[in-house]
Amino acid sequence: MINEIQSFLKNYFDVLQTQDLNLFDRVFHRGCVLYSAQDSTVIVRSFDEYRAMVQSRQSPKEGGFPQLDEVLMIDVMSAEMAIVKVRLRLFNNVMVDYLNLMKVDGHWMIFAKLFHKAGEVTTR
């Protein structure tokens, strides 16, 4: 099961770097909601809002930004549920994400994402 989740996370990291919308639709469940709180500002984004945002911007890969991904924690709750903590570079930002995963029709998908900008990278 851990290997399945790690394979899924590779797709998640690839989606963020390439912004491939076909892969996006296999990684994020349509009911997914994204949450963040930064500098006293609460952000809540629906699947549709986030997908439109991803679709409208140049990908980090196209911009020449290096990819740096780390899996910090995988907590398997059951055969169909897990929570994952990752750290990654997105453009010049260092992001920390908590992903709530559920297995649907034999495939892991993100149902909720909490994200936090932990810092910035000053070099490419």
Predicted local confidence at residue 38, as pLDDT: 83
| CA atoms of 73 and 62, how far apart (whole Å) | 29
CATH of the domain at 51: 3.10.450.50
The residue range of the domain holding 75 is 2-120
Predicted local confidence at residue 122, as pLDDT: 76
The model carries a pTM of 0.92
Dihedral pair phi/psi, residue 21, rounded to 5°? -70, -30
Domain total of the chain: 1
Provide mean pLDDT across the span 5-19: 96
Angle at 112 between CA 82 and CA 95, to 5 degrees: 95
Dihedral pair phi/psi, residue 60, rounded to 5°? -55, -35
| CA atoms of 25 and 45, how far apart (whole Å) | 16
